[in-house]
Chain A
């Protein structure tokens, strides 16, 4: 019987395999993945569409990753249900895989709102390699696209389509694009760059209907917005966001909220069952509570923590928070934590904005502790700020220097460095 069973072979699954093998070189591992192909980086699917990366470059681990880690990889297979009393996963084709320890790393699926006509040919979602491949195959013949959603996925796919020469219209329901991670100023900076590339950004609207072409009604010809305006296009990409894939645990004792609830060891409410990645609702150190944070680096870290604990090495998850590094049309941006706090005396906001240099830096403090930051075009010291943030360091003594272009580790007083970088100052 496989000792460890992992459902899902993306960031969290990979992280778990690596962690388990660090601790337990021999325990059998079975990975079940719907994807027919080897492990690849999902955030890179837009690079596949833009032509920046081929599949080989998207493989985030070596070709023989499964073999090298002695993993039985059941690729192209679907986990249908769980029997937690008898400890097995039921697969398609009537197979069963028993487990001692189980990790649910099923990730997320695209959220697709009810839109009339969304079944027409030329409507895509954008989450998996096969989504990217089907879209890429259409690009040669398509001239224009409507991207529904101005978040991380929407902007990524927009950039890729623009680079392939398509005329793109981005439709975002909120008043600004990337509103979950950027404040209005930073959002406008990105918006301007995207508009300069010929993209039409329409905010405060959504798509109510997809219409067909005059000559073929079952093929996408355009969309009708909520205000009745019509936009012609050959492709529609629905990129609103992802929601946790929790089908496996429905009807079981595994507790869920918006995602599967996990503790700091990535354990679910059922013993020997762990969850990690986009499907899990894990700890956010800024908010001090569990939240959905569907982000690759966190998924991998959560998977790693789960793996260690499954293999018997106690490891606790330090917590994550909203964190994104962006490179849209070559402007580097890093956004972490609370970037757009409501008007409230509890927050202190430090800002430096030099529009002529396209420079924008904003740090949000609460009780002299960094709880959020946005850096546009000057990002290289972001990690030092992030480290201070993660460790809840009081920055009162040097907060005037946090926005300086000279800010670096040396800015942090030595006594503090000793505390938060224990390995360096032994």
Chain B
């Protein structure tokens, strides 16, 4: 299965990963509309973490033994047996924040509504996730990893 791997030695901290993630998860898929018109503005599911001189982008790791899935109260967070993806169903989510408490990466956010959580879905509709495709310096790669 393919996963996003961060190469922190290449990360410049430009934040384009967040911009393109935001656009990809907007209704319009248009950068100007997404940032200017959509209210609330869609949230980036990848987070650029900066602690100078270190910076890297982090998003849901789709853990093999995902603590968020075990902890989820409502069954919104599930592990897809076939793809190995950790999927999140906002319709089932009740925003109890238990997953946020147990995510070792801090990769789950409250979504813009403050009612449910939001996290990386690996942009399944794209061949390469938006953050990876738009990283100008190869600091994010999408590659096959062993489970």
Contact = CB atoms under 8 A, between A and B. Distances in A.
B105 A297 contact: no
B110 A380 contact: yes
A325 B105 contact: no
A248 to B, nearest CB: 25
| Size class of the A contact interface (CB-based, 8 Å) | 35 or more
Given A58-B74, A61-B75, A297-B70, A332 B110 contact: yes
B10 to A, nearest CB: 15
B96 A327 contact: yes
Contacts of A408: 47, 49, 51, 58, 106
A57 interface: yes
B145 to A, nearest CB: 9
Interface residues of B, number: 38
Nearest to A401: B51
B101 A383 contact: yes
A409 B105 contact: yes
A182 to B, nearest CB: 15
Contacts of B67: 383
B29 interface: no
Contacts of A300: 70-71
A414 interface: yes
Interface in A113-167: none
Contacts of B47: 408
A291 interface: no
A406 B51 contact: yes
B74 A409 contact: no
Given A327-B95, A409-B49, A409-B58, A41 B75 contact: yes
B108 interface: yes
Nearest to A333: B97
Query: Which of A60, A406, A408 has the most CB atoms of chain B within a 10 A radius of its CB?
Result: A408
B109 interface: yes
Contacts of B63: 423
Contact of B100 (A43, A301, A325): A325
A386 to B, nearest CB: 6
A410 B56 contact: yes
A410 B70 contact: no
B70 A382 contact: no
A297 B70 CA distance: 6
Contacts of B98: 296-297, 325
Given A297-B98, A325-B98, A414-B54, A380 B109 contact: yes
Contact of A59 (B50, B70, B75, B94): B75
Nearest to A330: B114
Interface in A310-341: 323, 325-327, 330, 332, 334, 336
A424 interface: yes
Contact of A41 (B50, B58, B70, B74): B74
A44 B106 contact: no
A170 to B, nearest CB: 21
A379 interface: yes
A325 B92 CA distance: 17
22 contacts: A41-B74, A41-B75, A43-B73, A43-B96, A44-B94, A297-B71, A300-B71, A301-B71, A323-B101, A325-B101, A332-B97, A380-B109, A381-B106, A383-B101, A383-B103, A383-B107, A386-B104, A387-B104, A408-B106, A410-B49, A421-B105, A423-B63
Interface of A: 15, 41, 43-44, 47, 52-53, 57-61, 296-297, 300-301, 304, 323, 325-327, 330, 332, 334, 336, 379-384, 386-387, 406, 408-411, 414, 421, 423-424
